Each structure stands twice: as structure tokens, then as C-alpha cells.
Structure 1
Amino acid sequence: MKYNPHNYQSFAAEFILEHPVCCLMLDMGLGKTVVTLSALWELALDYFDIGKVLVIAPKRVATDTWPRELSKWEHLTGLTASLVVGNRQQREEALNRPAFLYIINRENVSWLVENFRWDFDTVVIDELSSFKSNRTERFKAMKKVRPLVHRVIGLTGTPAPNSLLDLWPEMYLLDMGQRLGRFITGYRERFFVPDKRNREIVYSYKPREGAEDAIYSLISDICISMKAVDYLDMPERIDNRIEVVMSAKEKKLYDDFCRDMVVQIGDEELDAVNAGVLSGKLLQMANGAVYGDERKVLPIHSRKLDALEDLVEAANGKPLLVAYWYKHDLARIRERFPEARCIDTSRDISDWNAGRVPLALIHPASAGHGLNLQEGGCTIVWYGLTWSLELYQQLNARLWRQGQKHTVVIHHIITKGTHDEDVMKALENKDMRQSNLIAAVRARIGG
């Protein structure tokens, strides 16, 4: 296929060429992959400026999106790639195969660093936000080899999904601490103050006054940000809340557990040892069931299943993409709707996009990044919510993106008076913080 880049895509590719260290904070659907591949083609085959490139991505994006985009566009001919996935023997064979690009899933980064001589001069980290914790093995592995890399390209649509503290590990892998400091403790002390705490134990931090602007200013020279609504004719999006109400008996059970952190459900005693466990169990109860001892599923109500049944009936065969969070949610949905099909494999994705899956089930953590599902439908149903703004936005962007020909409707089934309402409010508040970051480094093409 012939590539006719939008102005913003040409601008972003040029930014990569001009900045050996850079981060493209491109909104979902703006084509981060083809922009990056176009720049890599020039660097490798026109400028002869780079040799071996390591592309790190979520597994499904590594195995599906990058190879597909590479074979899709005519102008990328000659930019060879080797897919470093599978068992150990398959990965080793892929690393020994001559190519310009070596595409690996992020779970194997530590294995690569520990077992092979590092000879990559360029690294692309797709979904840079997956390196937001400096405690993970993948971050520690990349930190070890970062001084050996000449070019680093970070790609993300959600740079700080939960907190500006998430930015430090991401930026460190780009500039090795030049802008935000070499140590996260120094970054934290400089820009944050304790927020929630219990005497000496600090549970969270909040930015100091003026810290946000200062952080944005420090990283703005290597980061560009673009929102899809600024550069694309995005389809209309309608967000809808469908409230369900528990019976008085069900609500009393929920409220008693919320207050006492212990409650009797039939012959089983349900307890929560701390606030974190309580939060998870309250969300499960809002969905209709909760795990007891030894992962026994304790049913509470079927209000969300009834609401989902109404949506399926109203859709009248129109495809629905249903997002679930807990395994017992999946089991109960499939029991009610035997025709429902999980989106797990490339075959599932192809069948969905071909319109052969009227009711699809998807988990945000396994399918949030990089998948193009807009051809198969335009309606998402959030059966159970997640605290992760990143996963929430990424999954919505599977349908609400460039190429979608219909209005996208996103239904949220919310159990009234429960933790569901808290999660929706938290997601909205985090989005305000991230929107500030995006706006601060937004690229002004031609300005």
C-alpha cells in the first residue's frame, strides 16, 4: 500500500530524525508505528546512521502490529525484521538471523540482556509507559545497557496514566537522568510532597506547587504530543452510563462488608485484611460475585448480567465488545451468553474484524495496546471497571480511532451506590492530570 502521510506524521518522523533521544506522546490511532518505521527506514537505508534496532513492545503488538505494518507499506521495502518470540530456541534463532529490526516482547528483555552480547545501537520502546516502575526487572535490564545505546525512541499515548511519578523511569531510559535527575528519590524530593500517610509511612505523593509546569518544561525539548482530535476527523463518541440497583438485601450485605470488612454470605465468611483487599472485593461485589476462601466464587446478584442481556437484545446482532476484569465475571457472562467469544488469538481478531463475532469478550490487560479492532464494531460495554486509566483509554481506542466509520458508543454498567462510582470518578480525575501533561508538550505544527 502506498503511504501518503498526514502533515503531523511527517512532522513526527522528522522529529525522530532530528532527535537521537525522543518520545512521541501520540494519541491512540495516530499511527505511531508507521511513523517510527518510516524514520527508521531513512536512518538505516538512506542516512546509514543506525545498524541494529531493537523494538520492545507488548507481546501481541510485537507479534501482530509491527510485522503487519512493516509488510503493509510499499515505502518500507528493504527494512527487514526478525521476530524474537516463542521458546528459547526460537528466540535464539531469531537473534542470529540477519535483519535491521529485532522485535521482542517486553517480558523477554531481561532474558536478552542477561544472555546475549548487546550490539543494538537503537532501541524503540513501544508503550513506554509499561516501564513506569523502576522496580521491575525489565527496567533494571534496560538501565544496565542504556549507556550502550545511541538512539532511543519512546512511544506512548499515556505517558503518566496514574501519577507524574511514573515519568521518572520512562524519562531515565531516554536521557539517563539528564532532565529529571539520576535518582527517583531526588526527583521525588524535588517535585513532590507526601500526600496520604500514616506517621512515617507515606502511601502517596502529590506535586509541589508549580512542579507540573517545571517537569513539563524540562522534558519538552525531547517530547512531542499530539491528540487525535487535533489532527484526525475522529468519529463521534458517546459515553453512556447504565445504572443498575441492588435489592435492599444485597445492598445491606455490601454496606455491612464495606463497614466491617467482614460479612457472612451463606455458609462462607468473607473478610478483607486491608483497604486494598477491601477495594478489590467491593468491585467484585458490584459486578455480582466475589472470591471467598480458596477462590470460591460467592454470587451476590445478577444485575449487571441482566443489563448486559438488555444491551445484547437491543443490539439485535450488532457486534458488542465487552470488557471484563475478573475471571468469575468471564465465567458468569459465558454461562449467560454461550455464544460469546473471547478475543485471544489472531484468528479471533480477524473474525471480529470480519463481522463474524456478534458478542466478543476482552480483558483490558491482555488486549489494550496496539490492536486494530475498529472494523468489527463500534460499541464497547464495560461490564467491570479498572483503576488503570491507561488500560481504560487503550481499550476504548481499539474502536474509537482513525478508520472507524461509525459513531462509537461506550457503555459503562455501574452499580449505583458502590465502588464503581468511585472508580469512574478516579479515572476522570487522573485524565485531567494527564491532559495537562499532554497539552504542555503538544506539538504545534507550523507554529
Structure 2
Amino acid sequence: MIKISYLEELHQVEISTNKPSKAFEEIRSGYAAGSTNLTLFSANRLVLPFWAFISSIQSLIYIIKKHATPYTLDSTMLNLIKKSASKRASYKDFRKMEQISPEKIKKLLKQKGFKRDLTPEQLRNVAKLYNFPAGATFTVPGGGKTTEALALFSLKKGSEQEKLFIVGPPIASVAWEKEISKCLDYPYRFANLTDGYDKINKNLSLNPDIMYISYDQLLTVFDLVLNHLTKFDFFMCVDESHRIKGGERVKRGKMLLSIAHLPEKKLIMSGTPLPNSTKDLIPQFKFLYPDCNFNESNIVHEMQDIFVRTTKEELEIPKYTIMLKRIKMSESQEKIYNLLKSEELRRIEALSKVELNMLRSLGRSSMKLLQAASNPSLLLTGLGTETQYRINQLITEDVSPKIKYVCSRVRELAANGKKVIVWTNFRKNVEQLTSLLVDLGADYIHGGVPSGSEDNPVTREAKIKRFHNDKMSFVLIANPAAAGEGISLHEVCNNALYLDRNYNAAQFLQSIDRIHRYGLKKNTKTEIEILISPYTIDESVQRRMEMKLEKMARVLNDPSLIVEMQYADEETYDECNGLLLEDANDFIKHLKGWR
């Protein structure tokens, strides 16, 4: 006998047997071979998330019937399966429904007491998503995704007891709280769930109407928050939803997918939902509709009716320009780069295919070469003994050609009264540039800079305020991972320099959005300059970036994502002919000498 039960306390499914059977062994083997989602795996018991169970239910039924094995379902499990089947059927019905008009949405929002007047684009987006229990807004930064989310919550709120639960990056909580006060009519009790278990437990005991929590904080108090939420109906928003693109392979994705069946109403939000490929979309839409079968072959078609996007072109944001500046490496830097390139190729060729597929070793190798191409002094430590000795012998300069160019260019811009933000992936580059440009009021933001009050001079908020208000503060040096979200600099800064870039297209686009977003004056010229060392990993990154942006533009129907990038010295540029495949393939080809 195989027993299938729903574990209320875990919100997961248990498959168990009271004695060994061929059916259970085949089920067990199937899950062991094809899933990373098992919470518990033993000889007679399996525990897995509900969405993973629903995804495999047809195979499970086939195995049970093939072996003619008796089975039982508890009442909760039976009801959830029926509900899932109903949702799959209704999903198709929702797509056939006649869309409500923007004018009707406007009237309904007025009746609900919604305070803010929506723009025509926001009304269009809310009208499109209104009929669906779950949807996505991929509007560009500054285009009003938060307002759209609050409008949908206001329209769909079924009772006074229904909650709004938001998961997003830590920095976005302040913006959400401000938007709530501007949009919703009566005072909602807002709780930013942060600072650990005890404080969060205390905040939840006050029964807030709207709760915000960061992805990483939720990981630490998952059971506490979930036990509170399941007492109510709740509308769930996932802000910057591309952060769960790894699905069940990453902690954030696995966590949110495990509760995807609980909220009836959901919204995902991101300006860059597919930073790498269309595969990035599957976990995000699986969260919205865990009962539906999304895969790489159907995701682009299936998502069309349930996502909206307001583009920069629609918002009449002036176009920006990108210039690619070739910076030749010094003789010693070139020797260091080629030595490291040979060492990494030798090491990678010795790896198994499994290790290559995991991309971990390739990721470490790519970062080493990015360091060598931007600033070899970053490699003074952290390498193998023999390689470290040889590289240390070759490092003959404290300041690399790229660093020298950045300093020269920043001074040129400052002399013309222009502020600039400099982007680099490496903390030591951030700190070195800050030291070299201290006379221009240089400040920095990297992962070691805390968030907090703008009255505390060491916080990122204080640094951003100073960059805005201090006329003698001409340059901000930042790491895209630390400062690529939640910062608006477009009112005072219209120039950006990229000392280096990695393969992360989301970080690149989000960093551009710090200075190029809604609110720019029509005649504003936003200029972006990207430094590239010829015949290095920089060219591999550039090839891949262009390909990713073209794909994102095609999937999101947003041609404004494609910006023509020209070399400053285009007439002397040696065109690359490398095949544009996956990042890893492109990187390996670079290591093997492909240009």
C-alpha cells in the first residue's frame, strides 16, 4: 500500500509505503534520479514540495497502475489535487476572457479609494492583468511597477483580513512603504520584517496588513512567517523576481516554489526577467502557476497573455549612447594575462563534464581573467604557489592602463562640471580608485558598506545623498552587485564608466538604470563608456552581452533594450568571429585562443 499525504506543518507532500514494493522502488528511483527537491529520502518515505509532486503526478499514476499497487490519498491531498486540476483548466479560461477596459479600471480604483492617478501605461497594464489570479509586470525601473502591484492588490482584495506579502531585496522596503502611503486610502499597518527571529515574531504578533521581507531574511524565518500567513488569505508579490531564476537549484528559488500553491493571488516584478536565457523565466512563471507545465519550448508563448511591460521608449526617456573604448594592456600585464589564461585552460581541460556543467570552476576562472584584464595587482594573492610566484614577479606597476584611463577620463568630465559613476566588480578596484580620485570628492559603495540612516556618514544612503548634494563630489565608484538596485542618480549624473564587466546582463542593465530612468529631461544626454582590453575576456563578455540583450528584447517585445555600441576607434578594430553560444562555451573558446 502506497500512502500519499499532505503534511500541513511543512506544506509538503509525503509518499510512503508500509512494505517494500516494486512500485514504490520505481517511484523512489525516479525521484532520486531526476530531482533535487526531496526534503526527505529513505527506504520507505519521500517528502517533497507540492509543486514538484504536481509536476510528476502523471508519471506517479502510471507507475502505480503499471504495478497494480493499491494506494490511498488523505482528504487534504485529494482536495489539493482537485484544486490543482481546476486551476489548470481555469488558466485556459482566463486567457479567453474579454479584457476589462482601462476606463473601467480607473472607475474601480476610484471606488476602492485608491489615491494615485495611474498613467495610461499603468492603466493598460493593470487592465491586462486584472482577469488573471497571477501575473507579471516587467516594466522598466521608474515606470511604476510598485504602483501597478498596489492597484492590483486594491482591486483584488477580497476581505478586510486579506494580507499583502512582499518578498524582495532589502533596499526596496523603504520605497514600498512610501508608495503604500501615496496609493492606499486608509492606514495600513506596514511591517518590514527584519533584524532576526525575535523582532519579526513581535512584528507578526501585531497582525500587520502589509508585510515586507528580504529573500535572505525569509530563508532564516521561513516557518515562522509561513505559519502566520497560512492563517489568512494573502496576495503575494515577488520583487526583482529574476533572483529566483535558478529555481529549485538555488535556495531562494526552492523556498518560494515550495509555497507557490498557497497564495491564490500573485505578482512577480522585474525589469530584467531573463538576464541569461529564456530558461530564467520558467521558475518565475512556475511560481505563478505551479499547476501548469512550463518548459523552454513553450514559456515564451505561454507568458505573452500574463505579463506586461512599459518600455523606456513609451515613457519617452531620451536614448543613451554606449561607446566601447579599447585600452591596450601594458607589456607586463599582457604576459600575466597570457600566463593565467594558459594555466586556467590546462586546469579546465582536466575537469569532468559534470564539473563543467556546474560552471563553478569556469566562474572562478573567468573572474581571475577579468582581474588580470582590469588590474593585475588584484592577483597578488589567492593563486596556486607556483603560479602566484611567477605572476608576482611580473607585476611591475601599481596602476594598470585601465585604472589610469578611468582617472584621466573622470578628471576630464569633472573639469567640465560633470559627475560620473564608475562601475567595477572588484572591491580593491573600488578602493584604489577612491584613493586616486579623493581630490574630486570620490566616494564608494561595495558589499561592505551598510544600509542605514542617511545621517550616518558610513551608510550607502549617506554616500548617495552626498553625491546628490555636494557640488564638489564628482565621482562615485561602485560595485554593480551592491549598488545596481534601489539607487537613482539620474538627476545629477549622466555619465558612467565601466572599468570591467562580468557575464551578468541583469547587473549591467540595472547599473545603467541608475542614471537612465524615468524623470530625465528630454534633452539629457546619457553617455556610457565601456573599457575593453583587446583579445581578452572583455571581448567574450561583450559578445555574450549583445546576444543576451537581443534575446531579452525579442522576448519582451522591447526594441529599446538594443543599443548600438560603437568602438571609439572603430576603424582600427579587428572584428571578432567567435561563435555566440553559451557564456561558458564562449569563455572556453577564448581560453583556447578563439578571437
Q: TM-score range by the shorter chain?
A: 0.7 to 0.9
Among 247, 250, 254, the residue aligned to 1:140: 254
Within the candidate set 46, 62, 70, 2:180 is matched to: 70
SS in structure 1 at match of 2:236: strand
Q: Map 1:23-422 onto structure 2 (within 5 A).
A: 23-44=136-157, 48=159, 51-62=162-173, 64-71=174-181, 73=182, 76-116=185-225, 117=227, 118-119=229-230, 121-133=234-246, 134-180=248-294, 187=295, 191=296, 211=297, 214-229=298-313, 231-261=314-344, 275-289=362-376, 290-294=378-382, 302-315=400-413, 316=415, 317-338=417-438, 339-343=441-445, 344=449, 345-356=460-471, 357-405=473-521, 406-422=524-540
Q: Determine which structure has the larger strand proportion and give its number.
A: 1
Please report how far the alpha carbon of residue 30 of structure 1 lies from its aligned counterpart in structure 2 after TM superposition. 1.3
Over 3 Å counting, the alpha-carbon distance change for 1:275 and 1:53 in structure 2 is: closer
Mapped partners of 2:180, 2:512: distance in 1: 25
Could you tell me whether the CA contact under 8 Å between 1:355 and 1:376 is conserved in 2? Answer: no
CA shift for structure 1 position 309: 1.3
**1:378 and 1:399 mapped to 2: Cα distance?**
6
Please report how far the alpha carbon of residue 417 of structure 1 lies from its aligned counterpart in structure 2 after TM superposition. Answer: 2.3
Could you tell me which amino acid in structure 1 is paired with residue 532 of structure 2?
A: I
* Residues 186-242 of structure 1 deviation map (CA, whole Å, 9 limit, x = unaligned): x3xxx4xxxxxxxxxxxxxxxxxxx3xx4321222222233221x111123111122
Task: Kindly indicate whether structure 1 or structure 2 has the higher relative contact order, using CA contacts under 8 Å at least 6 residues apart.
Answer: 1
Q: Who is 2:557 aligned against?
A: 439
Contact 1:27 1:227 in 2 (8 A): yes
CA RMSD of aligned residues (A): 2.8
Q: 1:132 to 1:259 in 2, by over 3 A?
A: same
5+ residue gaps in structure 2? 1-113, 347-359, 450-459, 561-595
Q: Which structure is larger by alpha-carbon Rg, 1 or 2?
A: 2
Match for residue 183 of structure 1?
Answer: none
Q: 1 CA distance for matches of 2:150 and 2:279?
A: 30
CA distance in 2, matches of 1:225, 1:243: 35
Alpha-carbon distance in structure 1 between the residues aligned to 2:509 and 2:552 = 12
One-letter code aligned to 2:288: L
Partner of residue 184, structure 1: none
SS at match of 2:531: strand
1:318 and 1:23, CA in 2 relative to 1: closer, same or farther beyond 3 A? same
Q: Residue 435 of structure 1 aligns to a residue in which SS?
A: helix
Look up the equivalent residue of 2:403 and give its one-letter code: L
Residue correspondences, number: 398
Q: CA deviation at 1:293?
A: 4.0
Comparing 215-224 with 376-385, greater Cα deviation is found at: 215-224
Q: Secondary structure at the match of 1:334?
A: helix
Q: Is the 2:483–2:511 Cα contact (8 Å) retained in structure 1?
A: yes
- Change beyond 3 A, Cα 1:18–1:307: same
Write the deviation string for residues 306-341 of structure 1: whole angstroms up to 9, x where unpaired: 111121111124211111101221232123123321
Distance, in Å, in 2 between the alignment partners of 1:59 and 1:74 is 21
Deviation for aligned residue 1:151 = 0.5
Whether 1:8 aligns to 2:121 is yes
Closer/same/farther in 2, CA of residues 49 and 90 from structure 1, 3 Å limit: closer
CA distance in 1, matches of 2:508, 2:489: 15
Deviations 1:21-49 (A, max 9, x none): 101121233111122123323434xx648
- C-alpha contact (below 8 Å) 1:37/1:76 kept by paired residues: no
Amino acid at match of 1:147: H
Deviation at 1:143, TM superposition (A): 2.3
Deviates more, 1:416-425 or 1:51-60: 416-425
2:134 matched to which residue of 1? 21
User: Following TM superposition, by how much is the alpha carbon of 1:121 offset from its aligned partner in structure 2, in angstroms?
Assistant: 1.7
**Structure 1 CA distance, aligned partners of 2:468 and 2:152?**
29
